[in-house]
Amino acid sequence: MIRVADLDASISFYTEVLGMRLLRRNDYPDGHFTLAFVGYDDESVGAVIELTHNWDVNNYELGNAFGHIALEVDDAYCACDEIRVRGGNVVRDAGPMKGGTSVIAFVEDPDGYKIELIQKK
């Protein structure tokens, strides 16, 4: 679960830029929050990301305990190109990781959360 300031912008990023699907969205008026779940597969067969939007909060500090979300992609170079075309922010271009041979890249969502793209071997 990650907390997001602008739910619509976050849903657009994860669905339109990263190609996930909005699996479900529920408003909780008594609690003043909305939960939206995005992923590549249904929850019964794959991992999903829970986006929590607290209605009365406009921004969050990311803190220093959270690192990043990691996604495996077929081609990190191509994924970066596609993400840029879709309006996404690539903060580290695809290339070998420092001290290793795995090809990785990093993108950033509207709230500043980092998403690592790891190219399949």
CB atoms within 10 A of CB 31: 10
- Exposed, middle or buried by CB within 10 Å (0-12, 13-18, 19+), for 46? exposed
Which of 16, 50, 72, 116 is labelled catalytic? 116
Question: In the beta sheet, which residues pair with residue 26?
Answer: 35
- Whether 116 sits among the annotated catalytic residues: the reply is yes
Cα–Cα distance for residue pair 20/28, rounded to 1 Å: 23
- Give residue for tokens 């081609």: 75
Residues carrying an active site annotation: 116
